[in-house]
Structure 1
Amino acid sequence: MPQFGGFMNDPTAQMGLQMGQSAMKVGQEYVEQNFNRYINVSTLKHYFNVSNRYVLSKTVLVLFPWRHRPWSRSQTNTASPSHNGSTTTQFLPPREDVNSPDMYIPLMAFITYVLLTTLIAGLNGKFEPQLLGMTFSNASVVIILELLVLWLGRYFLNISSESQIYDLVAYSGYKFVGVIVTIAVAAIVNRGKGTGGWVGWTVFAYTFMANAFFLLRSLKYVLLPPDNSPSNPSMQTIARGQRSRRTQFLFVYSYVVQFAFMWWLTALNFTSGVPVVAGGKGIKGRWGR
């Protein structure tokens, strides 16, 4: 039997190995080109550039935003890629600025929400195999609907900056932090029997108001950026009518839209083990509210 080293030195084997490597390289380039057509990976990396300190500070900020100052994002000047001596203004990454939006916390909060709801159902002996998928689908529907709202807002508000769009997507996920707190506290007080009762409503009211206030302050610099902000690369002054529409959208999105989606996510009846639409029947029960 030929030795492994001899096999690798065989011209036919080497040719096959080279062809395989070439095919993998071509496939990787094809995937990257088509993926970058829809999502700018280099820009997306900015939103995952976080640290443990940032995650802790940002979570506290989302839950207790009342006395935070200032809300404006920090900027830095970097050399232009064209090497012509000019500089460009960019926002600092999340790990260096607590006011910078990220996608790490929203993603982890989304996963935690799915696991927490199924865990509570399991602790109450109501876990069913389809619960994990149904909870994931329930949260995904909320995200899709909210992205649709943001897409419509982008169209009607004439938001063309790529960074502004990613910022809106990032901010849309912070609601899961308040949702997790509401579900966890209500589960402890109500012994896993849903988020109803005065405790559940009180915690929900607080987390909703905190999230709305946080978004109202933070999104002001996304939808109404200063003339010299990286969110306004064209340096165009926003017209009065456009500014008024963006202000109205900011209020409706921060309060009305967030209330609807947070209520949807927290109004679960864990005694049934199945998330259902408010007022509708599940497999074994109804909503806790």
Structure 2
Amino acid sequence: MDLPHHGHRATKPRARAGPPAGDPMLFDDTSSGGPQMTNQGYYNSGYMSGPPSAGAGAGAGAGVGVNNLFTDPMANAAMMYGSSIANQGKDIVNKEISRFVSMNKLKYFFAVDTKYVIKKLMLLMFPYTHQDWEVRYHRDTPLPPRHDLNAPDLYIPSMAFITYLLLAGMALGIQKRFSPEVLGLCASTALVWMVIEVLAMLLSLYLLTVHSDLSTFDLIAYSGYKYVGMIFTVLCGLLFGSDGYYVALAWSSCALMFFIVRSLKMKILSSLSSDSMGAGASAKPRFRLYITMAIAIFQPVIIYWLTSHLVR
């Protein structure tokens, strides 16, 4: 009887059994498609023939991130919610502004074009040859400024105000006196003078019971036209010194006074016929003429006050 031999015995290699059908794999099988060691000692990937470039990987990652952002329902919902909040805020702001300012009326004062702006600037600097100063109407509605040269606008005053501030900053910089505080003081002083001037005109018209079609926007426009003359005055002062400044100041002041008197004359004095039957009617024309002349004479004072410190 042969005894069993306790040496090594050849065993058959076991076949690797795959996972049972229907059971999920805990790990992906990378035996065939994963990176494999070659004879040279490099890893060979089954997905690409060469080493991946950093630029390509970054671009692909960014593209995937953008696609995920636009396909993510939570991101889309957040964007829609933000847009709705922005629209609601815009409506609230427009509603609050409409309580104090009529947007349609404000759009009327900015209805200008290039042709109107050029002609109006020439009229402000050379008003002496202009003959017809009456504002034109269409069905009891004044024509917009681009169709009527005599209509007041707010585009030229606002742009002239900004230009005046830029020119003031340049003048202060040339004289080595520029600072944000000084420029802010120039802007606030100009705005305060305009507010005082408009309030004084409104109070005078109210106390004298002048019934005219002048609105607050009209008074702001006529008060803001002085910035055109101020720009001309400061430029001449910077280019030609003090002599050029005073010559330009005299010219722009006379032109603005003539423009204001002829423009407001059609607005303030044109309502005399409707008030001529009231008590004290004989004194009203004189007082209205005084108001018009006071407004015109006050313009050179403000021009000198706001420009004299810029030219030395």
* Match in the other structure for 2:115: 53
2:274 to 213, 225, 237: 237
1:218 to 263, 266, 270: 263
User: Aligned partners of 1:162 and 1:69: how far apart in 2?
Assistant: 22
Any idea what the Cα deviations from partners look like across 1:123-157, whole Å, max 9, x if unmatched? Answer: 34443343322222222222222222233234324
Any idea what the Cα deviations from partners look like across 1:21-72, whole Å, max 9, x if unmatched? Answer: 3322322221111111111111011111111111111111011111101000
| Post-superposition offset of 1:242 | 4.4
1:32 to 87, 94, 117: 94
1:114 to 165, 182, 192: 165
Q: How does 1:12-161 map to 2 (within 5 A)?
A: 12-77=74-139, 89-158=140-209
Q: Is the alpha carbon distance of 1:157 and 1:34 closer, same or farther for their aligned partners in structure 2, counting shifts above 3 Å?
A: farther
For structure 1, the residue ranges without an aligned partner over 5 or more in a row are 78-88, 228-235, 271-287
User: Aligned partners of 1:97 and 1:145: how far apart in 2?
Assistant: 29
Higher relative contact order (CA 8 A, sep 6+): 1
Alignment RMSD (CA, Å): 2.7
Fraction of identical pairs, as percent: 32
Residue type at the aligned position of 1:30: I
Q: Per the alignment, in what secondary structure is the counterpart of residue 275 of structure 2?
A: coil
Does residue 250 (structure 1) correspond to residue 312 (structure 2)? The answer is no
Q: Per the alignment, in what secondary structure is the counterpart of residue 67 of structure 1?
A: coil
Q: Is the alpha carbon distance of 1:116 and 1:182 closer, same or farther for their aligned partners in structure 2, counting shifts above 3 Å?
A: same
User: Aligned partners of 1:269 and 1:114: how far apart in 2?
Assistant: 11
User: Aligned partners of 1:4 and 1:163: how far apart in 2?
Assistant: 57
Any idea what the Cα deviations from partners look like across 1:206-242, whole Å, max 9, x if unmatched? Answer: 2111101100001122223459xxxxxxxx8134354
TM-score (normalised: structure 2): 0.70
* Match in the other structure for 2:215: 164
| Post-superposition offset of 1:97 | 1.2
User: Aligned partners of 1:23 and 1:225: how far apart in 2?
Assistant: 50
Any idea what the Cα deviations from partners look like across 1:148-206, whole Å, max 9, x if unmatched? Answer: 2233234324467776221111111011111111111122111xxxx4x4x43232122
Q: Is the alpha carbon distance of 1:249 and 1:13 closer, same or farther for their aligned partners in structure 2, counting shifts above 3 Å?
A: same
TM-score (normalised: structure 1): 0.75
